[in-house]
Amino acid sequence: MYFIIKLGSRYNMKHHRCFGASLTDTFLTFASCDFFQVPNPTCGGSACEFNMTYGGSTIAGNLSQDTITLATDPIPNYTFGCLQKTAGSSVPPQGVLGLGRGPLSLLSQSQNLYQSTFSYCLPSIRSPNFSGSLRLGPSGQPVRIKYTPLLKNPRRPSLYYVNLIGIRVGRRIVDIPPSAIAFNPSTGAGTIIDSGTVFTRLVEPAYVAVRDAFRRRVRVANVTSLGGFDTCYSVPINAPTITFMFSGMNVTLPQENLLLHSTAGSITCLAMASAPALNVIANMQQQNHRVVFDVPNSRMGVARERCS
């Protein structure tokens, strides 16, 4: 069984299909939503029903509770969403595992067991196995790793904000307006780390500056577009590295974390795009890195690791 690992959303609880749930001795479906932060609740009959969106999908389900066991660790009275209906392709049949800072996430409900600490290593989309890893708790986390502070935003408290202070293309720091990457808790602006978003998105002034610097380094005149990507090439290119510069650490990305190839292999695109209001360091740019979240110490670490 597998889940999409989701770091940040407003509610951030675990959702999964509940095959045979009525046969589980400890399984409970709530009749009231009063004590839980669930989206668009409907309390009728014997269930607390909810409706929400995730990516391009809509979800309908019931709020439920059971004892779950991870490896040999039981988590009693675990509250989760039992999916009844989904539409769209963003949610797999097995569901979504919430690891954000919301009250119904796995992280929050297991904090006595795992001390609100976890890490994951996402495999490359080109990996034949496509099998990464998730480590829960302080034990077994990397020792030699650099960290950057985690920031808290009261407008979006479940998200993992970090302080992005600059971006380098090759060896040159890109000239980005400071306001485009500044952390602003009053507006929700800034930069987050998210595993549920596939490609990194930067607010337009930052993205345009990085994109233009990338194009200058590639030095291929014929630039095309493909889907949502506006920096694509129909000839082989020698792409520069891109470095995200955070307070306390830099993360330098090689070509495998930057370039997306068409199915036929004839077109190569820079796997980034613009966003309206929030910078998101996303899934593809995290692949083959161990990403550590040490919430009690308000820090996040990144180290290169072959994940599959």
Written as one string, the DSSP assignment of 235-295 is S---PPPEEEEETTEEEEE-GGGTEEE-TTS--EEESEEEESS-EEE-HHHHTTEEEEEET
| Domains 4-114 and 140-304 in one fold | yes
Every domain of the chain and the residues it spans? 4-114, 140-304
Distance CA 48, CA 40 (A): 10
pLDDT digits (tens), the chain, 308 positions: 445 566 765 446 566 666 444 445 556 666 555 545 666 666 656 678 888 887 778 888 888 889 999 989 999 999 988 888 888 877 776 778 889 998 889 999 999 999 999 999 999 988 777 678 999 999 999 988 999 999 999 989 999 999 999 999 999 999 999 999 999 999 999 999 999 899 999 999 999 999 999 999 999 989 999 999 999 999 999 999 999 999 999 999 999 999 999 877 789 999 999 999 999 999 999 999 999 999 999 999 999 999 87
Give the domain 4-114 fold: Cathepsin D, subunit A; domain 1 (2.40.70)
CATH superfamily of 140-304: Acid Proteases (2.40.70.10)
pTM over cut 0.85: yes
CA angle 165/171/177 to nearest 5° reads: 35
Q: Which residue has the tokens 């309390």?
A: 43
Evaluate whether 279 touches 176 at the Cβ level (below 8 Å): no
